[in-house]
């Protein structure tokens, strides 16, 4: 055999089928690599989204706690500042206070007569709004604060029976009933009224001081139609005309503020009274009337609180709510 021809021979060529097989493997490997990369990138994106969501949820929870802290802080300030009704303005937030990772503010809102003044109307309730903020999360809670202190009325829950409540000069019948009380097992039933002034009274002699504001609260239910109740403190002296002090109603405004009315279901009525008598007296009475009719009505869970300096203010349990913030 010729050596020259053997050394110059062409190497064998791989079959076309083998080349195609190797190219398919490369494509599969490349596709799998891309798929694994996409899965990894998706996992990273999902992780970031979950982390962001968890962070936002944590901020929202922290903001809620700060809003509740704001309410507690506001209550503490109101109960230590005897001039808070003039020191703070209606719907004007306090300066933001930093606590932890966020801040909080609180606001006092006039919801009694809506005349935009916290000091008018004497011992009127007020709504305290607390707002907490952490990052972009803002949350708000509010509650109505009402005057608290020693109740000057005896048997205010009516659980001990009718006494010491009695009719005013025989113009009604004062009884008790166990049908649908507001609290406990009894309520006061005022019936057979001879007119709008027919109602119950209680002798509070020795428990009422002159030139003071008093906060009156009662749960009340009418028998026929909603009607405005009227609380009075009557200072009586034999041979002298009664001095009568009437619960303060919202002033005339435009638009007018609705007066408080007791409805056919139990309704909480809360009104302030200012007393300023000039004569000596034999007796002082707390009294309740209505504005128009002689329909029967029911009473339960009464309060007569004297104002102090400062008057303790406490949250009314049935007034808590979450605020919709803008």
DSSP of 62-128, one letter per residue? Answer: HHHHHHHHHHHHHHHHHTT-TTHHHHS-TT-PPPPEEETTEEEEEEEE--SS-SS-SSTTSS--EEE
Do residues 113 and 251 touch, judged by C-beta distance below 8 A?
yes
Question: Could you tell me if residue 188 is inside a domain?
Answer: yes
235: containing domain: 166-307
List, in order, residues 6 or more apart from 310 with CB less than 8 Å away.
Answer: 78, 79, 80, 81, 82, 84
47 and 125 inside one domain: yes
Question: Could you tell me if residue 45 is inside a domain?
Answer: yes
The average confidence (pLDDT) of the chain is 86
Q: Give pLDDT tens digits for 50-59.
A: 555 545 568 9
Question: Could you tell me if residue 1 is inside a domain?
Answer: no
99 and 210 inside one domain: no
Which pLDDT does position 1 carry in this prediction? 47
Q: Give pLDDT tens digits for 118-169.
A: 876 678 899 999 999 999 999 999 999 999 999 999 999 999 999 999 998 8
Q: Give pLDDT tens digits for 193-241.
A: 999 999 999 999 999 999 999 999 999 999 999 999 999 999 999 999 9
42 and 121 inside one domain: yes
126 and 43 inside one domain: yes
Do residues 147 and 311 touch, judged by C-beta distance below 8 A?
yes
Per-residue pLDDT band for 278 (boundaries 50, 70, 90) equals very high
119 and 170 inside one domain: no
Question: Could you tell me if residue 70 is inside a domain?
Answer: yes
Q: Is the confidence at residue 10, as pLDDT, over 90?
A: no
Question: Could you tell me if residue 155 is inside a domain?
Answer: no
Structure tokens at 158: 């009516």
Ranges 18-22, 110-114, 315-319: which has the least confidence: 18-22
Q: Is the confidence at residue 7, as pLDDT, over 90?
A: no
Quote the CA–CA distance of 56 and 237 in Å, as a whole number.
68
Number of domains in the chain: 2
172 and 294 inside one domain: yes
The residue that leads in pLDDT, 165 or 311, is 165
Do residues 146 and 217 touch, judged by C-beta distance below 8 A?
yes
Q: Give pLDDT tens digits for 172-189.
A: 999 999 999 999 999 999
CATH number of the domain enclosing 226: 2.60.120.260
Structure tokens at 79: 């109960």
Which residues, listed in sequence order, are joined to residue 321 by a DSSP beta bridge?
142
For residue 253, the SS3 value is coil
298 and 320 inside one domain: no
Per-residue pLDDT band for 250 (boundaries 50, 70, 90) equals low
Structure tokens at 122: 């004497």
Question: Could you tell me if residue 8 is inside a domain?
Answer: no
The residue that leads in pLDDT, 23 or 108, is 108
């Amino acid at each position: 055999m010729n050596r020259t021809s053997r050394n110059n021979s062409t190497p064998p060529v791989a079959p076309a089928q083998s080349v195609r097989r190797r190219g398919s493997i490369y494509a599969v490997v490349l596709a799998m690599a891309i798929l694994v990369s996409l899965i990894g990138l998706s996992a990273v994106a999902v992780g970031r989204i979950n982390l962001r969501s968890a962070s936002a949820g944590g901020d929202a929870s922290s903001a809620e706690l700060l809003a509740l802290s704001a309410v507690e802080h506001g209550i503490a300030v109101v109960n230590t500042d005897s001039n808070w009704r003039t020191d703070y303005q209606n719907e004007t937030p306090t300066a933001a206070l930093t606590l932890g990772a966020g801040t909080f503010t609180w606001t006092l809102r006039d919801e009694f007569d809506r005349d935009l003044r916290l000091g008018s109307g004497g011992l009127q309730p007020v709504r305290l709004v607390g707002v907490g903020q952490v990052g972009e999360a803002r949350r708000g809670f509010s509650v109505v604060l009402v005057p608290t202190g020693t109740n000057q009325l005896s048997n205010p829950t009516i659980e001990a029976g009718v006494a010491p409540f009695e009719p005013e000069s025989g113009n009604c019948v004062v009884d008790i009933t166990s049908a649908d009380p507001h609290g406990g097992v009894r309520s006061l039933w005022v019936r057979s009224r001879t007119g709008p002034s027919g109602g119950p009274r209680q002798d509070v002699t020795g428990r009422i001081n002159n030139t003071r504001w008093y906060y009156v609260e009662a749960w009340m239910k009418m028998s026929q139609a909603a009607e405005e109740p009227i609380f009075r403190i009557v200072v009586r002296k034999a041979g002298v005309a009664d001095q009568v002090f009437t619960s303060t109603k919202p002033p005339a405004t435009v638009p007018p503020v609705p007066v408080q009315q007791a409805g056919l279901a139990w309704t909480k009525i809360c009104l302030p009274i200012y007393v300023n008598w000039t004569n000596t007296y034999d007796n002082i009475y707390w009294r309740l009337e209505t504005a128009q009719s002689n329909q029967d009505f029911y009473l339960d869970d009464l309060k007569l609180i004297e104002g102090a300096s400062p008057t303790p203010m406490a949250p009314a349990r049935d007034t808590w709510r979450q605020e919709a913030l803008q």
